[in-house]
Structure 1
Amino acid sequence: MVDTTGTTSLTYDGLYRLTGVTYPNADTQSYTYDAQGNRLTKVHNGTPTSYSYDDADQMTLAGGVAYTYDADGNQTAAGTDTFSWDAENRMTASTIGGVSGSYAYDGAGLRRSPTLGGATVTYTWDLTGSLANVLRDSAGNRYVYGLDLISRTDGSGAQEYYLTDGLGSTTGLADGAGSVTDTYGYDVYGAVRARTGTSGQEFTFTGEQVDSSGLQYLRARYYDAASGRFVSRDPLPLLQRYAYVGGNPVNLVDPYGLCSLRHPGDCAEVGLTKAIDYGADYIQDKANRIGIEKGIIAIGTGLVCAGAVAAPESIVLPAACIAGISGYLFAQEYQWVANCENVASGKLSADRAYGKNVLSAFPLPLGLLGKAVVNPGVERAIGRGPHFLPGLQCGSSVAEAASAFQQQE
């Protein structure tokens, strides 16, 4: 991997997990993992750090620092640092490095106003796209987006333009005259390795917010770059609920804090799980008023996303599908889903086969469609037949729906 600082050499294991890094300045890092994808060791320039975990994949020790968790899998202590959580598993308070913080959230569950070291900032979010983004804050900053964050204008009118890499990480800032004022360098998991300039802007690794607590806010959860792990359990029932992007941070991103985009298997899991979770409630609550066909859009779209999962070089379809399934879908026209299906139909090759294999690796009662088996509302809905998959007809059972998905080549 080559950038303006030189060449970074990378090695991987057979599961595409990063095992070794040599940076342009000759610094080295190496990693080993257990069978569940938890990091067992990190060796930095010859100095090792070992990690231990409990049966729930919760990290209990890292280099001698002890970690504790509540019953919901939220991290409550890391050495002398402490964390508090609400009933919806959102971080509400922290003490990190002796600095106290508190966090408030809006009705959409997004972080509205963190208070760190006595200073409070309130954010206004744009919810119209597939990914919620900060538009402005109470400090007077305004943000402009394209495919990534383009610029920040502060309260005085001064502008900063973001220079980014392939992951969307901020590598530099330029002023209105085009001069580079700040530079950023990261290790592979996002910890800052080099920094020049004095800008107080917070959007750094993968283009997401890292505040003065040192944690990165990824909407559903907070990420700790030092450990390469989230500090709370993934709300989705994936196999690995803490490790960041399956040990492949050079190629994958996780802006939702839910699944690593560009990874078909993870997006398949998200699609099906979200479809089942939201589809069941929606069908049961709304079917009498709007008709069963619209009620099963969530499930049908989940199957489409799981079977289609866009090509690895594209994150547009998975992002749109995940956003739709997770709540916005029900406000959209049926044509949105049809368009999603049409786009997906052109990508049902190796990626769909990958998604099929991910699904088939789970015993059905415990797997991604397992909830549907024991949920009469979902079983009835699928039984009335969304025609999102060839071979799935009116009257199809949940098992037949799973089979139709698995038979796609």
Structure 2
Amino acid sequence: MKAIWKTKEPSRATPLCTIVDGYDPVGNCLTRNLDGNPITWSYDDLYRLTGQQKAGQVCTYTLDGVGNLKTMWEGGSFPKTFTFNAADRLVTMVEGASLTTYAWTGYGALESEITGNSTTGYAYNGQDQLAVVTEPSGDKTTYSFDGDGLRRSVATTNVSQDPPTLDVTTMVWDGSDYLLLNEPTQNRVVLTLDSEIVSCGSKDLLTDPLGSLVKEISAGASLGSLVQLTPYGTLLPTSGKVSVPFVYIAAYGYFNDTADRDYVRARELYKKLGRWMQTDPYWPHEPAFDYVGCTPMSSVDPSGKQGIQLDTNPDSMWSQPPFVRSNNCYFYACDRMRPGPGIRDWPNPGGPGCMNCTDDATSDSCKCKKLMECIAKDGFMQPRPRGKKCPKGTFTVIAFVRPTPPCDYHFARSLPDGRWCDKHGDFPVCDPFDDPYEHNRRLGWSAPQT
């Protein structure tokens, strides 16, 4: 077992908080000591979280074979028991004598939640972003977004006014980070450091190694109460009062909409259920509603669309009939094996017609920009930010184009041992190599993109 020590210190070098984390050989967080308060976690044979134990609170979870939570007990009087349909969509939740039923849109977003005679409705815009929440009382909260998918405003019914009015919060973004929150009663500047949120208004954020809030620090290093969360982010009743909207995975900007739900840029996390409200952008290649592989103590998903690599198809299968003749370098790089029967069954980025390879050197198909647009259209891969590493459980893919006629493209993907491999047309997967740039340069490719 390996351990990471993390200490937060103010300018006077007096420790504010000491966290010691212990991990198993595959990276699952097993133990934490927070200023002398121990926490332990347990996992099943698939490394999915099954339990958390700390002073005064025990959480237990059971899961089915595809990662759906069957039961969740986070210290309440009764466990929550879930049932799902064939599409892995949550159908019912039973907690004691309370039955809640769920309905979904055709494209996999939570549409309604009915408990007894109370119904909460959810409506979405054309980009599958949560646009309206209708409470059982009829009060509505509306959300607006810009063309990049970033939330721009929140309008909530203020029932304390007669007649009721709308309280509006607008969000000004700096790239992908919050810069300013214009709220009904105050404006708060949100500061970031290397894309991680470190303060909001007059409060600095003291976070744990995964990025969740531990304490708020006021001016003069006045510490707030200890913030305690369940593994999937619900604030415990014994926790201290939190004034900032960034609590669970606070450093990465999860915005606390309600006690049960967080806005996570690309979609919403239903913390009470331990799952996403919308289907994964990379479904069906990724689990539809799974949150970080059911390992919330070891993984985060800052954007709400981080792929979690499933078991890769072994290289031996890529080199055997019929797979060897019905897959090419692109689907090998995506690890999306096709069982098609024909030699010309090779899929191109973006589907038919997107990559229109020609003998014309001026064609857009001879340019990296066009290739990247077609890759983005499929959604099987996502660009890696410059200077960043791919997250745990994923692999790197490098795309090349041939800038001289006839225009063409090629892909290479990284292997767990640090080497690289590729597949040329209907040929078997190649022997691993060390330098993908030199390997492809010899073949006439250039302009690499990762």
TM-score by length of 1: 0.69
1:94 matched to 2:142? The reply is: no
In structure 1, give the amino acid aligned to 2:102: Y
Give the alignment partner of residue 54 of structure 1, picking from 85, 102, 110: 85
1:31 matched to 2:61? The reply is: yes
Q: What is the CA deviation profile of residues 216-246 of structure 1, one whole-angstrom value per residue up to 9, with x for unaligned ones?
A: 1111110110000111111212341112111
Structure 2, unmatched stretches of 5+, are 1-31, 158-165, 314-330, 337-346, 398-404, 414-419, 435-450
The alpha carbon displacement at 1:19 in A equals: 0.9
Match of 1:66 in 2: 101
Match of 2:73 in 1: 43
Q: How does 1:79-228 map to 2 (within 5 A)?
A: 79=114, 80-96=119-135, 98=137, 99-117=139-157, 118-127=166-175, 132-139=176-183, 140-147=187-194, 148-153=196-201, 159-193=202-236, 194-197=238-241, 199=243, 201-207=244-250, 208-212=254-258, 214-228=260-274
Q: State how far apart, in whole Å, the 1-side matches of 2:350 and 2:87 are.
A: 25
Match of 1:311 in 2: none
Structure 1, unmatched stretches of 5+, are 154-158, 307-320, 330-335, 360-380
Q: What is the CA deviation profile of residues 268-290 of structure 1, one whole-angstrom value per residue up to 9, with x for unaligned ones?
A: 99x83999766988745999554
The alpha carbon displacement at 1:258 in A equals: 1.2
1:246 is paired with a residue of what secondary structure?
Answer: helix
The alpha carbon displacement at 1:124 in A equals: 1.1
Q: State how far apart, in whole Å, the 2-side matches of 1:284 and 1:227 are.
A: 45
Match of 2:52 in 1: 21
CA shift in 2, pair 1:291/1:240, >3 Å: closer
Q: What is the CA deviation profile of residues 109-156 of structure 1, one whole-angstrom value per residue up to 9, with x for unaligned ones?
A: 1111111232111111122xxxx1111122321111114211223xxx
Q: State how far apart, in whole Å, the 2-side matches of 1:60 and 1:113 are.
A: 31
1:298 is paired with a residue of what secondary structure?
Answer: helix
1:253 matched to 2:300? The reply is: yes
**Aligned-pair RMSD on alpha carbons?**
4.1
CA shift in 2, pair 1:115/1:71, >3 Å: same
8 Å CA contact retained: 1:174, 1:182: no
8 Å CA contact retained: 2:50, 2:60: yes
Q: State how far apart, in whole Å, the 2-side matches of 1:216 and 1:71 are.
A: 23
Match of 1:368 in 2: none
More helix by percentage: 1
Q: State how far apart, in whole Å, the 1-side matches of 2:406 and 2:433 are.
A: 18
CA shift in 2, pair 1:47/1:301, >3 Å: same
1:141 is paired with a residue of what secondary structure?
Answer: strand
8 Å CA contact retained: 2:349, 2:355: no
Q: State how far apart, in whole Å, the 2-side matches of 1:53 and 1:39 are.
A: 9
In structure 2, give the amino acid aligned to 1:292: C
2:368 is paired with a residue of what secondary structure?
Answer: helix
The alpha carbon displacement at 1:56 in A equals: 0.5
The alpha carbon displacement at 1:67 in A equals: 0.2
Q: State how far apart, in whole Å, the 1-side matches of 2:362 and 2:407 are.
A: 16
Q: State how far apart, in whole Å, the 2-side matches of 1:284 and 1:39 are.
A: 44
1:386 matched to 2:426? The reply is: no
Q: State how far apart, in whole Å, the 1-side matches of 2:152 and 2:406 are.
A: 38
1:119 is paired with a residue of what secondary structure?
Answer: strand
Q: State how far apart, in whole Å, the 2-side matches of 1:218 and 1:75 are.
A: 15
8 Å CA contact retained: 2:108, 2:278: yes
Match of 1:244 in 2: 291
In structure 2, give the amino acid aligned to 1:38: N
Q: State how far apart, in whole Å, the 2-side matches of 1:285 and 1:124 are.
A: 42
Q: State how far apart, in whole Å, the 2-side matches of 1:104 and 1:74 are.
A: 17
In structure 1, give the amino acid aligned to 2:71: T
The alpha carbon displacement at 1:215 in A equals: 1.5
* Larger RCO of the pair (alpha carbons < 8 Å, separation 6+): 1
Q: State how far apart, in whole Å, the 1-side matches of 2:422 and 2:312 are.
A: 21
1:10 matched to 2:41? The reply is: yes
In structure 2, give the amino acid aligned to 1:225: K
Q: What is the CA deviation profile of residues 131-187 of structure 1, one whole-angstrom value per residue up to 9, with x for unaligned ones?
A: x1111122321111114211223xxxxx21110001111111111201113542101
Q: How does 1:297-312 map to 2 (within 5 A)?
A: 298=372
Q: State how far apart, in whole Å, the 2-side matches of 1:160 and 1:247 are.
A: 31
1:234 matched to 2:280? The reply is: yes
1:73 is paired with a residue of what secondary structure?
Answer: coil
2:215 is paired with a residue of what secondary structure?
Answer: strand
The alpha carbon displacement at 1:102 in A equals: 0.6
2:142 is paired with a residue of what secondary structure?
Answer: strand
In structure 2, give the amino acid aligned to 1:151: S
8 Å CA contact retained: 1:283, 1:295: no
Match of 2:113 in 1: 78
8 Å CA contact retained: 1:283, 1:292: no
1:122 is paired with a residue of what secondary structure?
Answer: strand
Residues matched between the structures, number:
330
Q: What is the CA deviation profile of residues 194-230 of structure 1, one whole-angstrom value per residue up to 9, with x for unaligned ones?
A: 432462x201101111124741111111011000011
> Larger deviation: 288-297 or 159-168?
288-297
Q: State how far apart, in whole Å, the 2-side matches of 1:142 and 1:281 are.
A: 46
8 Å CA contact retained: 2:412, 2:421: no
2:121 is paired with a residue of what secondary structure?
Answer: strand
8 Å CA contact retained: 1:5, 1:24: no
Q: State how far apart, in whole Å, the 2-side matches of 1:89 and 1:149 are.
A: 26
CA shift in 2, pair 1:197/1:87, >3 Å: closer
